[in-house]
Chains A and B, each alone.
Chain A
Amino acid sequence: MVVEKIAVIALYTTIAMFVGILFMGVGRKIVARVHNRVGPPVYQGFIDIAKLLTKKTNISHGWIYDLALLFSMTGIMLTILFLPIGGVKLLSMEGDAFLVLYLLAIPALGFALGAGASGNPNAAIGVMRALVMMLSYELPFVITLIALMIYYDTSSIAQIVEMQHAKWAIMIPPFVLAAAVADMALQGMLMEAPFDIPTAPHEIASGPMAEFGGKHLGALMIYKAGTIVAYTTLFVDLFLGGGVVMHDGSVLAYLANFAVWFILIFLVFTLSLLINTSFPRFRIEQAFKFYWKYEALLAFISLIWVYLMVIS
Chain B
Amino acid sequence: MKEYELFIGPQHPGVTGNMMYHLWVDGDIVTKAECNVGYLHRGFEKLMESRGWMQNVPLVCRICVPEPDVNEMAYAMAVEQLMDWEVPDRASYIRVIVLELARIAAYLMSIGSYAGSLGIYTLPQWTLGDRDYILDIFEQLTGARVYHIYIWPGGVRWDMPEGLPDLIEKTLSYIEKRLKLYDDVFFRNRVFFDRAAGIGKIPKNRAIEWGVTGPNLRACGYGYDVRKLEPYAAYGDMDFEVVKYPELGDFEVISDGCDAYTRIVVRRLEIDQSISMVRQALKKMPEGEHILKHPNWLKWKAPAGYAFSRVESSKGEYGYFVVSDGSSKPVRIHVRGPSYTHGINVAETILKGANIADVSQILFSLDVCPPDIER
Do residues A283 and B357 form an inter-chain contact, with CB atoms below 8 A? Answer: yes
**Interface segment, A29-37, A76-84, A169-177, A222-230?**
A29-37
Q: Is B194 an interface residue (CB 8 A)?
A: yes
Instruction: Name 7 extra pairs, CB < 8 A, besides A35-B121, A279-B191.
Output: A196-B119, A197-B357, A200-B119, A202-B361, A203-B14, A280-B118, A282-B195
A193 to chain B, nearest CB (A): 5
Given A282-B191, A283-B357, A37-B125 contact (CB < 8 Å): yes
Whether B6 contacts A282 by the Cβ 8 Å rule is: no
24 A-B pairs with CB atoms under 8 Å apart are A31-B121, A34-B122, A35-B125, A124-B1, A193-B120, A194-B119, A200-B119, A200-B357, A201-B13, A202-B14, A202-B118, A203-B359, A277-B121, A278-B122, A278-B189, A279-B120, A279-B191, A280-B119, A280-B192, A281-B118, A283-B358, A284-B357, A286-B194, A286-B195
CB distance from A210 to the nearest CB of B (A): 10
B328 within 8 A of A: no
Q: Does A121 contact B (CB under 8 A)?
A: yes
Expressed in whole angstroms, the Cα–Cα distance for A232 and B5 within the complex equals 38
Chain B CB within 8 A of A128 CB: yes
**Interface check B129, CB cutoff 8 A:** yes
Interface size in chain B (residues, C-beta < 8 A): 33
Closest chain A residue to B126 by CB distance? A36
- Report how far A202 CA is from B112 CA in the complex, Å: 13
How many residue pairs link A and B with beta carbons under 8 A? The number is 81
Task: Assess the B119–A204 pair: CB atoms within 8 A.
Answer: no
Indicate which residue in B186, B194, B356 contacts A203 across the interface (CB closer than 8 Å). Answer: B356
Smallest Cβ-Cβ distance to A286: which chain B residue: B194
What's the least CB distance linking A247 to chain B, in Å?
42
B360 at the A interface (CB under 8 A): yes
Expressed in whole angstroms, the Cα–Cα distance for A281 and B115 within the complex equals: 10
Could you tell me if B119 and A281 are in contact, using CB atoms closer than 8 angstroms? yes
B4 A121 Cβ-Cβ under 8 A: yes
A205 interface hit (Cβ, 8 Å): yes
* Bound-state Cα–Cα, A134 to B13, Å: 25
Which positions in A face B, CB cutoff 8 Å?
31, 34-37, 121-122, 124-125, 128, 193-194, 196-197, 200-205, 277-284, 286
A278 surroundings in chain B (CB, below 8 A): 120, 122, 185, 189
Q: Is the CB of B185 within 8 A of A193?
A: no
* Known A-B contacts A196-B119, A277-B121; A205 and B195 likewise in contact (beta carbons under 8 Å): no
Any A CB within 8 A of the CB of B274: no
Q: Which residues of A contact B12 (CB under 8 A)?
A: 205
With A and B bound together, what is the CA distance between A277 and B13 in angstroms?
19
Chain B, residue nearest A37 (CB)? B125
Min distance, Cβ A272 to any Cβ of chain B, angstroms: 15
B360: chain A residues at CB < 8 Å are: 202-203
Tell me the minimal C-beta distance from B125 to chain A in angstroms.
4
Given contacts A37-B125, A280-B192, A282-B191, contact A202 B356 (CB under 8 A): no
Which residues of B sit under 8 angstroms from A125, Cβ to Cβ?
A: 28, 356
Which residue on chain B has the smallest CB distance to residue A282?
A: B191
- Assembled-state Cα–Cα distance A282/B192 (Å): 9
Whether A205 touches B13, Cβ cut-off 8 Å, given contacts A35-B125, A36-B129, A279-B191, is: yes
Q: Which residue of A lies closest to B120 (CB)?
A: A280
Give the docked Cα–Cα distance between A128 and B185 (Å). Answer: 30
Measured between C-beta atoms, what is the minimum distance from B259 to chain A in Å? Answer: 15
- State in angstroms the CA–CA spacing of A122 and B118 once bound together: 17
- Also in contact, A202 and B116, with CB within 8 A (given A278-B122, A280-B189, A282-B191): yes
Query: What is the distance, in angstroms, from B130's C-beta to the closest C-beta of chain A?
Result: 9
Note all chain B residues with C-beta closer than 8 A to A205: 12-14
CB distance from B192 to the nearest CB of A (A): 5
- Taking a contact as CB atoms under 8 Å apart, the answer to whether B13 and A283 are in contact is no
How far does the alpha carbon of A246 sit from the alpha carbon of B4 in the complex, in Å? 58
Q: Which of B5, B12, B122, B126 has the most CB of A within 10 A?
A: B122
Kindly state whether residue B92 has any CB partner on chain A within 8 Å. no
> From A203, which residue of chain B is reached at the shortest CB distance?
B357
User: Is A282's CB under 8 angstroms from B194's CB?
Assistant: yes
Contacts of B355 in A (CB 8 A): 283
For A193, what are the chain B residues with a Cβ–Cβ distance below 8 Å?
A: 119-120
- Judge if B56 is at the interface, Cβ distance under 8 Å: no
Q: How far is the CA of A204 from the CA of B6 in the complex (A)?
A: 9
Q: Please measure, in the bound complex, the distance between the C-alpha atom of A122 and the C-alpha atom of B8, giving whole angstroms.
A: 10
Shortest Cβ distance from residue A41 to the other chain B in the assembled complex, whole angstroms: 19
- Alpha-carbon separation in the docked complex, A281 to B357 (Å): 10
Which residues of B sit under 8 angstroms from A279, Cβ to Cβ?
120, 189, 191
CA distance in complex: A107, B189 (Å) = 33
Cβ of A202 and Cβ of B191 under 8 Å apart?
A: no
A-B interface, 6 closest residue pairs, ranked by CB to CB distance from nearest: A281-B119, A280-B118, A35-B125, A202-B14, A280-B120, A202-B117
A128 to B357, CA, bound (A): 13
Q: Which residue of B lies closest to A195 (CB)?
A: B119
CB neighbours of B192 from chain A (8 A): 280
Q: Which residue of A lies closest to B130 (CB)?
A: A36
A284 proximity list for chain B (CB < 8 A): 28, 357
Chain B residues, Cβ within 8 Å of A121:
4-6
Q: CA–CA, A26 to B255, complex, Å?
A: 40
User: CB distance B13 to A128 under 8 Å?
Assistant: no
Cα–Cα, bound, A37→B5 (Å):
39
Give the Cβ gap from A126 to chain B, nearest Cβ, in Å.
Answer: 11
Residues of B within 8 A of A201 (CB): 13-14
Q: How far is the CA of A281 from the CA of B123 in the complex (A)?
A: 13
Chain B residues lying within 8 Å of A280, measured Cβ to Cβ, are: 115, 118-120, 186, 189, 191-192, 195
CB distance from B271 to the nearest CB of A (A): 19
Distance A34 CA – B129 CA, assembled complex (angstroms): 13
Cα A31 to Cα B122 with chains together (Å): 8
CB neighbours of B195 from chain A (8 A): 280-283, 286
| Distance in angstroms between the alpha carbons of A123 and B121 in the assembled complex | 22
Taking CB atoms, residues of chain B closer than 8 Å to A31 are 121
In the bound complex, residues from chain A placing their C-beta under 8 Å from that of B120 are 193, 277-281
User: How many Å from the CB of A211 to the closest CB on chain B?
Assistant: 14
- Which chain A positions have C-beta within 8 A of B28? 125, 284
